Structure 1
Amino acid sequence: MTTLKLFLPACALALLAACAGFPPLAPEPPEERDRGPSEPVDLSDVPDAVPRHEVRTLAGNRNPYTVLGRTYRLIDDETDYQERGIASWYGKKFHGRHTSNGEIYDMYAMTAAHKKLPIPSYVRVTNVDNGRSVVVRVNDRGPFHDNRIIDLSYAAAQRLGFADQGTAMVDVEIIVPDGTAPAPLRQAGGDTALPSNAFLQVGAFREQSSAQRLAESLAPDVEHGVIVSHATTPAQVYRVRVGPLVDTGDLHRAREQLQALGYDQTPLVYETP
């Protein structure tokens, strides 16, 4: 984990690079603009963030802080926070980069950037137009654009139904974990433990034979198990998944193995019994 001493000098840079929701200082070439995955990805099984009590550190919570010449102050008491406004999303351009608190941004996880909420916070975001709702974990700063209140991960935007249009009117409401919420589990090396049903999804197919062929081709080259998961709602689908994964270190190693095999889009999902 990055130490506070090393992270703070880079914080301003992380803030500036955090989100795609503010205007660039100069026009960007098309190849540098933010975008989603290069191919369609099934993110319907990516789970909501699970609210829990976490220690809030100075990293990501400098107060006040200044970006693009404007100073922002964090909310003193977020327990009653709710707001309606425009949400945007950020994706591939920032995938793998550091968020404002030093974590690694994963566009396939249920996270968000907010200008004034403490990090981390958990919020429920509801698309006003279609009623879809998700729970996300705020671990980044932004969007630094006057008319936008939250910047969501690509996965959250897809689940809310506006990934193709870029922005949507949303309701954002804080979720305060109750007293029984578990603290995050830590391994000796500092990795966060994952639920026992955590997997990486490599592909989804209508035909079982196609899914089985992919699973068999992956098995010799990855250290984890490879399963074919069958679902019938909202439509019949066979999903190829790698796991189970023990912790975030395990997750990163599995993802690197799959990337070496040419599979760059592998969202984290929870396998249901």
Structure 2
Amino acid sequence: MIFGQYGKPTFETKVPVMKKLMRPRTAVFAMMAAVLLSGCSETRFLASSAKKVSGAPAISGHYKVGNPYQIQGVWYYPSEDFDYVETGIASWYGPKFHGKPTANGEVFDMNQVNAAHRTLPLPSLVRVTNLENGRSLVVRVNDRGPFAHGRILDMSKRGAQLLGYEKQGTARVKVEILKEQSLALKNSLVNQVAGKNAPIKSGGMQKPMVSAQNLSAPNGAQAAPQAAPTQTAMAPQQQSSWSNPQAPKQDTSIKTYAVAPTRMYIQAGAFSRFENANRVKAKLSGVGDVEVSQVLVNGRDFFRVRVGPLQNVNAADQILNDVINAGYPSAKIIVEKGKG
């Protein structure tokens, strides 16, 4: 568990780094001479071994979804949800994990734009919009986390700087996956793995193609009148630990949108029967102002139980903790358009 300079405690699971083996130079020459007498599979082994011995960075990082896991009594279910959209609170992490492997085997660089998410496929591309200042940025998700209740995304330090919330530690955000770009990223990595066993061919590699697109304003915000979203800065070019000419280029431009008011609630749950929702409301009556509202989700009626609205993140964290202790470990902070 870490406590960021300004943020809340964040839990993260890291893969241990394997130490590289050092071999004497004479052993390398002997190995090369022996392997050159063999066929294609041995040729591939030679190239890989020579790269490790010489100290050149080996290609790493892979596509991963992962199995369900449990943290602090809450189950998380990673999945290929290419329609994912969520609002909530983002935090950031940096120095203590800098240079260490991410959950999918890449190397975490706090000075690049990347992020940790509990369930999205790794890697994937998402657009993160700071609902407090309108800044919006495409982010590469390549790690798991945050595991602190009340947070939906852990940005790298650089990402938090560019979105304007490094000093305050948290921000109200909207996170939405970029479906086409994420699918292209998945396919590029899967194809790369499938081609690992192909014989090595000579010739230069194709240079990556650079592409960009204009994105509409996120829900809950309207673009400034008579002007397209304004590019205010450029994030550092995203560097990955793998090389693939088929991989989509990350759009590193920062766009700014007009800001709309938001408000926060603690959602204890959503129930298909009003009686169940009403019982939860009664149980939480001592926590704060509790309301039951009816919503239509995928053609079905649900009754959601919420506490609030709440004025700030500190208040939301306190109420969230109270709701969890009352027996609702899956409770979460919801940010939505509205007054306050």
Report the structure number with the largest CA radius of gyration.
Answer: 2
User: Structure 2 length as normaliser, TM-score?
Assistant: 0.38
